[in-house]
Amino acid sequence: MPGVPTGSDGLGARSPVGRLLARSGREFVPLRRSFVGRREGPGDPRPPLARFVTGRREHALDLLLLAHALASAPPWDVTEYAETWARALVIGSPDTYAPVISENWSWIESEGLVTSERRNRRRVITLLIEDGTTDPYQRPTRDFFKLPHAYWTAGWQKELDLPAKALLLIALSRGTQFLLPARQGADWYGISHDTIKRGLRTLKDHDLLEVSRKRKPAVNSPTGFKIEHRYTMRPLGPPAAPLAD
């Protein structure tokens, strides 16, 4: 498995993103499960995470997650230059920092997940509830999961692709051990079963997910049994270093 060096590439506690995260005074981000799972009621039944995935909005997902990490106290807002966001998340190049970051924040705002206003050259981002209902943000006290800051400081934000990031969030929302049938999971989370399989495979390839298989009776199966996959999350530590030649 390829390793991720910790140095000038923007990783670690002293990196641009590490210095931003240090201001939050905590080591994880609380996220409501309604961000990843389907909700009842009017409007788009897909959870917000599914809309990031189907819209191929990886940069937008990275921005929103980091905003939740940084806006750690009332009034739940964060004010930064576009260049600061871009350098922290390694998005774009100096020539494209401003338009890329601006366009993605505008999309996130259109999804009802933040509000924003301009303050000179900086943009003030204020969180809304993660389910996309546009309700004012409050710190979750129940039905939430934790995204460790190691997601950024250990390099996983750069190492994982969008399907794997989505499945990482889903896995964290389900607990240490869980079942996730690809086809039923597609209905639960609003993303395709192929995306679920790709994301799970990537997490497994990066040693973030352990898979055990158990044969169970199944009267509707031609073989009389089915294979049940049970997943176990491993700690979100740094990626393994590459082996020396």
Q: What Å distances lie between residue 7 and 17, 18, 92, 129, CA to CA?
A: 12, 12, 19, 35
Q: Which two tokens stand for residue 222?
A: 């031609």
Q: Model-level pTM?
A: 0.86
185: its two tokens: 């999971």
**Would you say residue 221 has pLDDT above 80?**
no
Distance of CA 86 to CAs 10, 73, 119, Å? 11, 23, 18
Is 90 exceeded by the pLDDT of residue 109? yes
Residue range 113-118: mean pLDDT, rounded: 96
Confidence (pLDDT) at 184: 76
Give the pair of three-digit tokens for residue 15. 């990196």
**CA-CA distance, 183 to 185, in Å (whole number)?**
5
